[in-house]
Amino acid sequence: MQGSTVIARPIEDVFDFVADERNEPKYNPRMVRVDKMTPGPIADGTCWSATIESRGRSVDMEIEVTDCTRPRCLASTTRMSTAEIHGAVTFEPDPAGTRMRWSWELQPKGVFRLMGPVIARMGRQQEAEIWAGLKRYMESTAPPATGS
């Protein structure tokens, strides 16, 4: 699953907002809970516990940051009962703000492997909706205050 969008905000703002998974419920209506499980700053090895609502049921997941290179790359592995997802979100300056690209590899588990093409199609649509929600949210909120 791949795609991209341009967000009219500086690269550091977009990276920092996306890197903190606790922000996702602000722009993804399916994400109902996110807890940071590891102490310290967000870095390689940071783990999150999250719950999404999918087709009327709750799905728990664990997300592990596998590459946190601020402000350019945020890679992760997401594990849930039905699938594992590996991939990354990359960030680059753009004349209009920040170009954010995503690329995910979905590996269905068990009987869900038989539904791979259907799951992939649904996943592509959901990813496009999630990142469109991020764009709307970030472009409609005030930038964070900077210290002087």
Q: Looking at residue 119, which CATH number applies to its domain?
A: 3.30.530.20
Question: What is the spatial distance between Cα 90 and Cα 98, in angstroms, rounded to a whole number?
Answer: 10
Domain count of the chain? 1
In a domain, 145, yes or no: no
Average the pLDDT over each of 28-32, 45-49, 93-97, 139-143 and give the range with the smallest value. 139-143
In a domain, 147, yes or no: no
Reduced to 3 DSSP states, what percent helix, strand and coil does the chain have, rounded to the nearest 5?
30, 45, 25
Confidence of residue 58 (pLDDT cuts 50, 70, 90): very high
Report pLDDT digits (tens) over 81-140: 888 999 999 999 999 999 999 998 988 877 565 566 666 666 667 788 999 999 999 999
38 or 56, which is more confident: 38
In a domain, 42, yes or no: yes
User: Domain range for residue 28?
Assistant: 2-140
- pLDDT for the residue numbered 90: 98
**For the CA atoms of 106, 46, 4, 124, what is the dihedral angle to 10 degrees?**
30
**CA-closest candidate to residue 126, choices 21, 8, 27:** 27
Give the mean pLDDT of 48-61: 92
Q: Answer yes or no: is pLDDT of 148 > 50.
A: no
Confidence of residue 31 (pLDDT cuts 50, 70, 90): very high
In a domain, 148, yes or no: no
Q: Answer yes or no: is pLDDT of 54 > 60.
A: yes
Indicate the pTM of the whole model. 0.87
What percentage of the chain exceeds 90 in pLDDT? 70
In a domain, 132, yes or no: yes
